[in-house]
Amino acid sequence: MSLETHPDWWNFELELSPHVEERMIDRGFSEVDLRLMFETTAAIRRGGAKGRWILESAHDGDAWEVVVEPDQHDQVIVVITAYRVTQ
């Protein structure tokens, strides 16, 4: 999806899942880093699970993907996980 037109949920508040909070320590990124990755998203595509999206971004010079699940009812974007893309 082009970022010229953001999805309707783009401006919802971010909510961190327990899973991503654990991964932050393991993978060496902070909540601030995660929010910057969200803000500098280069592309968005549908994820493998229904209702999930993958944001393509960067962190510390590497490509990263952030998996999110927008919750229309509560108007939040639940961040499921984030990981460095390896070639």
Whole-angstrom CA distances from 12 to 22, 63, 66 are 23, 24, 16
Look at residue 1 in the predicted model and tell me its pLDDT: 54
- Provide the 8-state DSSP code for 47: -
Whole-angstrom CA distances from 15 to 4, 9, 63, 73, 80 are 24, 13, 22, 14, 9
Look at residue 47 in the predicted model and tell me its pLDDT: 94
pTM: 0.91
Predicted confidence (pLDDT) at residue 53 exceeds the cutoff of 90: yes
Residue 22 C-alpha from the chain's centroid: 15
Superfamily of segment(s) 13-84: RelE-like (3.30.2310.20)
Q: For 64, phi and psi rounded to 5 degrees?
A: -130, 155
